[in-house]
């Protein structure tokens, strides 16, 4: 097991699964500038590690993440020029990365939600591939409470989960929904009384499969959802051609036929940008 522990985010890697925990429990994991930096750095580190096959994202303490730390509003450096050098003008920008990084990591990310996931906390969760929530968890697109729009990549993630009218209603009102309603709306995938343990179990199952097929599958679904059908079919064919007869694919077949655990090599690439389809 590998442990990477920082003041604000901890990572334990065991059997190819990265267990990532927001670690500012005394503040309900609220997001300040160092927290943004820590999440960004962990995301980059995980993406670069070819041995990782799944990620579980959760929060320490009483909730997943209460959103933006209100102290940011009184930070003169941040508030004077929030999109200044190093924070804006590139995409995803400094504030969008903590949510979008999970979408960009080439392995499945499963987010476990308990307590509250408000504002920026919910936007971080929306970047994951799968969300498992406690039935009594509370979720809100809360930025409107502070006179803002969601600006941590929800424009690219919320739209893929719920109907447009639902996304608008949640954004315009900032109302709080429970985990139970969130499943009905499509904000979360499923419910569990112990969402972190359920997420870890799912991640372990994913980690037992061909890591290249899993990564290509994430790329395929993420990159063809809003595109032309024929282009999507082309991408599907090109990716399958890369997988067929590869050592990991052959091992998948042999291990299934022999009734044993598959022994796979690490995935071939560190970022989706490295995938060449032609």
Please, which residues bridge with residue 109 across strands? 55
Domain at 216, CATH number: 1.10.12.10
The DSSP bridge pattern shows strands 9-14 and 138-140 to be unpaired
My answer on whether 94 and 229 are in the same domain is no
- Across the chain, mean pLDDT equals 93
My answer on whether 182 and 252 are in the same domain is no
Q: What is the pLDDT of residues 177-226, one digit of tens each?
A: 999 999 999 999 999 999 999 999 999 999 999 999 999 999 999 999 88
My answer on whether 59 and 131 are in the same domain is yes
My answer on whether 223 and 245 are in the same domain is yes
My answer on whether 127 and 17 are in the same domain is yes
Tokens of 49: 């590690």
My answer on whether 225 and 135 are in the same domain is no
Q: What is the pLDDT of residues 35-51, one digit of tens each?
A: 999 999 999 999 999 99
Instruction: Report residues of the chain scoring pLDDT below 70.
Output: 1-6, 72-80
Q: Where are the alpha helices (DSSP H) in 225-278?
A: 229-243, 247-258
Domain at 7, CATH number: 3.90.226.10
13 to each of 10, 16, 58, 212, how far by Cα in Å?
A: 10, 6, 14, 19
CA-atom Rg of the chain in angstroms: 19
Q: Which of 206, 232, 259 is the last residue of a domain?
A: 206
My answer on whether 261 and 191 are in the same domain is no
Give the torsion sign (CA, 134, 23, 162, 273).
Answer: negative
My answer on whether 142 and 268 are in the same domain is no
My answer on whether 187 and 243 are in the same domain is no
Q: What is the pLDDT of residues 4-15, one digit of tens each?
A: 556 899 999 999
Closest CA to 122 of 143, 101, 103: 143
From the number of C-beta atoms within 10 Å of its C-beta (0-12, 13-18, 19+), residue 143 rates as: buried
Query: The domain containing residue 11 runs over which residues?
Result: 2-206
Please, which residues bridge with residue 116 across strands? 138
Q: Which of 206, 231, 252 is the last residue of a domain?
A: 206
My answer on whether 44 and 169 are in the same domain is yes
Q: Which of 206, 225, 256 is the last residue of a domain?
A: 206
Question: How confident is the model at residue 77, as a pLDDT?
Answer: 66
My answer on whether 93 and 221 are in the same domain is no
Closest CA to 113 of 187, 63, 56: 63
My answer on whether 236 and 198 are in the same domain is no
For the chain, the domain total comes to: 2
């Amino acid at each position: 097991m590998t442990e990477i522990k920082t003041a604000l985010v901890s990572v334990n890697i065991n059997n190819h699964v990265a267990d990532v925990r927001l670690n500012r429990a005394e503040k309900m994991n609220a997001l300040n500038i160092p927290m943004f930096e820590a999440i960004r750095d962990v995301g980059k580190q995980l993406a670069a590690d070819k041995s990782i096959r799944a990620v579980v994202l959760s929060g320490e303490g009483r909730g997943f993440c209460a959103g933006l730390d209100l102290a940011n509003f009184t930070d003169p450096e941040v508030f004077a020029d929030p999109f200044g050098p190093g924070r804006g003008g590139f995409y995803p920008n400094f504030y969008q990365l903590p949510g979008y990084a999970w979408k960009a990591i080439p392995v499945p990310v499963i987010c476990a939600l308990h307590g509250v996931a408000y504002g920026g906390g919910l936007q971080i969760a929306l970047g994951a591939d799968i969300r498992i929530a406690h039935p009594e968890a509370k979720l809100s697109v809360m930025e409107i409470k502070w006179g803002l729009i969601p600006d941590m990549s929800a424009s690219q993630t919320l739209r893929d989960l719920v109907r447009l009218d639902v996304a608008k209603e949640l954004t315009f009102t900032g109302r709080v929904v429970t985990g139970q309603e969130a499943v009905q709306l499509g904000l979360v995938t499923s419910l569990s009384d112990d969402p972190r343990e359920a997420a870890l179990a799912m991640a372990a199952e994913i980690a037992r499969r061909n890591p290249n097929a899993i990564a290509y599958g994430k790329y395929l679904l993420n990159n063809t959802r809003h595109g032309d059908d024929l282009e999507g079919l082309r991408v599907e064919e090109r990716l399958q051609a890369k997988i067929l007869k590869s050592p990991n694919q052959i091992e998948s077949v042999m291990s299934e036929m022999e009734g044993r655990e598959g022994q796979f090599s690490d995935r071939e690439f560190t970022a989706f940008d490295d995938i060449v389809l032609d």
